Structure 1
Amino acid sequence: MIEPHSSGGYILEELVVGMVAEKRVAITEERIQKFAEASDDFNPVHMDEAFASKTAYRGRIAHGLLSASFGSALVGTILPGAGAIYLAQTLAFHRPVRIGDVVVSRVTIAAIDEVSARVTLRCEGFVGDDLIMDGEATVRVPRRRRAKT
């Protein structure tokens, strides 16, 4: 498990296939409300317990993209970190996430293309031992650090 780089981000030459970073985030009522406001997604399955209790989920669930956004936070702040730019993302959702759950997001470097400065990341999310989502991201990574001014 790696920690954030002291500069804020890893450059291409510092990355190695197999590097892993994780982030743990508790799902709260406040997070769901803020995400709904930011995304303008007020689907009642996320916001209204009476409505959600009548669905196949038998209660409210968090937005899938709320949980997915924690992977984005990992990419932008830890691995590769500052300077990494998202180019593509695939996602599959396997289980719902509920208020009170703790989502563990994990990114693992799966491949490095030194010619294009692109990195492929395996992205996973867990609640306990249950895989809630997975996919793959492609990000562009800086080749060298900017000179300090």
Structure 2
Amino acid sequence: MNTGPHPSGGYILEELSPGMVAIKEVEVTEGRIEQFAEASDDFNPVHMDEAFASKTAYRGRIAHGLLSASFGSAVVGTILPGAGAIYLSQSLAFHKPVRIGDVVTAKITVASVDPESARVVLRTEGYVGDDMIMEGEATVRVPRRRRPARD
């Protein structure tokens, strides 16, 4: 079941269940790579310099892996679970490079919900077309339903 944004901006713990999915598509552009390099201070020439990158195993520039991963973070923070979700951990495995002009599909799936700790485990995946470019698992803390104020 593909899940859209919650009207409040975020799902609370009690509204989440395994199998919920949210997807976001983002085009990787020259501008995004430049902005990510500025924000992260990662100016590795494999990302920034075509002449250098053309001599590597990638035979051309590739996007920062964490730029692509950040699209999954955008899903977690704005769609599923959304506003109020706080990252506790993230594992990632990168499978294929991403290039300027590629459209990355970030897919987040609720794997499990722990009502005791208010933690949710998410399967995180990234695709370009049908090719999986990365995958991992995130653990996030999610707000619970507020208890009514006592008089």
Report TM bin, short chain.
over 0.9
Secondary structure of 1:3's aligned partner? coil
Q: What is the aligned partner in structure 1 of residue 96 from structure 2?
A: 95
One-letter code aligned to 2:94: F
Q: CA 1:73/1:86 → structure 2, altered by over 3 Å: closer, same or farther?
A: same
- Per-residue Cα deviation, 1:83-138 (whole angstroms, up to 9, x for no partner): 00000000000000000000000000001111000000000000000000000000
Structure 1 Cα separation of the partners of residues 46 and 145 of structure 2: 45
One-letter code aligned to 2:129: G
Structure 2 Cα separation of the partners of residues 145 and 10 of structure 1: 13
Q: CA 1:146/1:49 → structure 2, altered by over 3 Å: closer, same or farther?
A: farther
Q: What is the aligned partner in structure 2 of residue 116 from structure 1?
A: 117
- Per-residue Cα deviation, 1:10-56 (whole angstroms, up to 9, x for no partner): 00000010000000000000000000000000000000000000000
In the alignment of these two chains, the number of paired residues is 147
Alignment of 1:27-106 (within 5 A): 27-106=28-107
One-letter code aligned to 2:25: R
Structure 2 Cα separation of the partners of residues 10 and 105 of structure 1: 18
Secondary structure of 1:96's aligned partner? coil
Q: Is the 8 A contact 1:11 1:145 kept in 2?
A: no
Does 2:134 correspond to 1:133?
A: yes
Structure 1 Cα separation of the partners of residues 32 and 19 of structure 2: 31
One-letter code aligned to 1:48: D
Q: Which runs of 4 or more aligned residues in structure 1 lie more than 6 Å from their structure 2 counterparts after TM superposition?
A: none
Q: CA 1:135/1:17 → structure 2, altered by over 3 Å: closer, same or farther?
A: same
Q: TM-score, normalised by structure 2?
A: 0.95
Amino-acid identity (%): 78
Structure 2 Cα separation of the partners of residues 16 and 113 of structure 1: 10
> How far apart are residue 144 of structure 1 and its match?
1.6
Runs of at least 5 residues in structure 2 that lack an aligned partner in the other structure: none
Q: TM-score, normalised by structure 1?
A: 0.97
Structure 2 Cα separation of the partners of residues 121 and 84 of structure 1: 12
Q: CA 1:49/1:55 → structure 2, altered by over 3 Å: closer, same or farther?
A: same
RMSD (CA atoms): 1.1
Q: What is the aligned partner in structure 2 of residue 19 from structure 1?
A: 20
